[in-house]
Structure 1
């Protein structure tokens, strides 16, 4: 039995991966129309305008929301569809593509990603969890992957400001540069009601497993287990941190004595002068509260 959506919104980020895949959106739309789908294509001059126009189109009704780009576009989709029951799909054409990695989708070949998506549209979408971040009076922010609130967030912030190189190695270079001045931060962390005060190099709250183009912060993370994983790196020297990070890319850091994982449903984080990022998008400075919402997302895989 086929389950092809009749009406599909396709939101395209033409500047994803610094414009290296500008033609992917038009190819995806052509293939969708060829397969018999009714397509509403959205391409705007900037990300904020694209987000707003996608929200308006979604409010008029659709069978699915498809995004072409990187994890920024995933964030756009997740924040529109979470909790609505409307499925989304992603053609990974960005720099990191971490959700695509976690879902087993092509993350280095956008054209292959289009073909996989066309096949996936014929099947029942997969149901996965989402996390939601609340910060003061700000609107809640949904995420599918990881919330960063430490050294990893600073690396992300620096990488976002860089224009070169144009691939995942940007994160590695940003990491090395950030190490030069980084010091452990003092955190107040409350995990399912249990409060702790401690210093840490890095605190992340994960629904997915990787960040920064394949850095496997939480290699055992499960998108569908109804839990979050808190990843904490306790204070260590810069030299030891440099030694640990190559292992993170391979997911071989989990037994390091400075590394701690805690399973959770709800997490509160506070620290001075630390900003949080959710799926690579800036949320704002701490404090924040993070909670898992089981089964909040349906995604084509």
Structure 2
């Protein structure tokens, strides 16, 4: 039986790197005998639509070639369907690709791993907003300071990743004030002013910032990191610790773990997988084994 592979591509990712990667991967997959269909999303909504159409056709795999934002749209299509998802990093942050293992060195090896079809069931997070809208995410939800930094970074004309995030961080510090948060984790409540709340299914965001360093994407639990209000001068000294994950032992940081997380507070828009979602209140629920991730590491 001829394997059918769908490549979902954001041609703008990585300043065009995704388009080049997709062409090379398509050639290698076809050389190996696969029937390959290339799906080009011209917007986030278009990519999400294409991912859902692909999953409905039940291909052997949906392969997302781009950054975390494209993977986020692909997840909306495959979640709960059993259609395997592969991630080919061709964006700027690529935190999801790092969490699930980067593909082999050569395009030929990557094509072979896709066709081998080895999968790993991973959790997804169902995000419910106050208006009834639902989305799923794979990595980290950011609410508060880090989400506002994302707002700034998304307005930059040039590349982001870690360096762009730091520039956005320094810009946001000029006007940021703490938020009065109410966070419930499986019924345990945090209610006080805070700088940010992060809900992690995986450990990192922002191009390798380990905000939830102990998060494991297949343990059926969410890691919650809450940073209490602090003077900006102290916050500036502490925040760089997120690059190594060393912040979780500080007295200003509360770490919880649970299956359901509810967040309230006038914190502005939240981001999940680096994508703008909407404002609190919101609820995050882990959905165990909801996505079959293709193992591309061997």
2:274 corresponds to which residue?
Answer: 280
Change (3 A) 1:52 1:180: same
Identify the match of residue 164 of structure 1 among 152, 158, 165: 158
The alpha carbon displacement at 1:53 in A equals 2.8
The alpha carbon displacement at 1:104 in A equals 2.4
Q: Deviations over 1:91-131 (max 9, x none)?
A: 0000110011111215xx9x647733532541420111111
Identify the match of residue 226 of structure 1 among 195, 198, 220: 220
How far apart, CA to CA, are the structure 1 residues paired with 2:226 and 2:107?
33
Change (3 A) 1:214 1:193: same
2:99 corresponds to which residue?
Answer: 102
2:209 corresponds to which residue?
Answer: 215
Change (3 A) 1:209 1:121: farther
The alpha carbon displacement at 1:49 in A equals 2.2
2:243 corresponds to which residue?
Answer: 249
Change (3 A) 1:117 1:287: farther
1:186 corresponds to which residue?
Answer: 180
Give the TM-score normalised by structure 1.
Answer: 0.92
Change (3 A) 1:136 1:193: same
In terms of mean alpha carbon deviation, does 139-148 or 166-175 score higher?
166-175
Query: SS of the residue aligned with 1:22?
Result: helix
Give the TM-score normalised by structure 2.
Answer: 0.93
How far apart, CA to CA, are the structure 2 residues paired with 1:241 and 1:125?
41
Change (3 A) 1:104 1:53: closer
Q: Verify: 1:34 aligned to 2:28, yes or no.
A: no
Change (3 A) 1:269 1:66: same
Change (3 A) 1:237 1:102: same
How far apart, CA to CA, are the structure 1 residues paired with 2:38 and 2:73?
15
Q: Verify: 1:144 aligned to 2:141, yes or no.
A: no
The alpha carbon displacement at 1:133 in A equals 0.3
After TM superposition, list the pairs within 5 Å mapping 1:1-301 onto structure 2: 6-106=3-103, 112=106, 115-116=109-110, 118-301=112-295
CA contact (8 A) 1:179 1:238 kept: yes
Aligned residues: 295
CA contact (8 A) 1:149 1:275 kept: yes
CA contact (8 A) 1:147 1:278 kept: yes
CA contact (8 A) 1:132 1:143 kept: yes
CA contact (8 A) 2:51 2:78 kept: no
RMSD of equivalent CA atoms: 1.9
Unaligned runs of 5+ in 1: none
In terms of mean alpha carbon deviation, does 118-127 or 274-283 score higher?
118-127
CA contact (8 A) 1:91 1:117 kept: no
The alpha carbon displacement at 1:11 in A equals 0.5
Query: SS of the residue aligned with 1:274?
Result: coil
In terms of mean alpha carbon deviation, does 48-57 or 78-87 score higher?
48-57
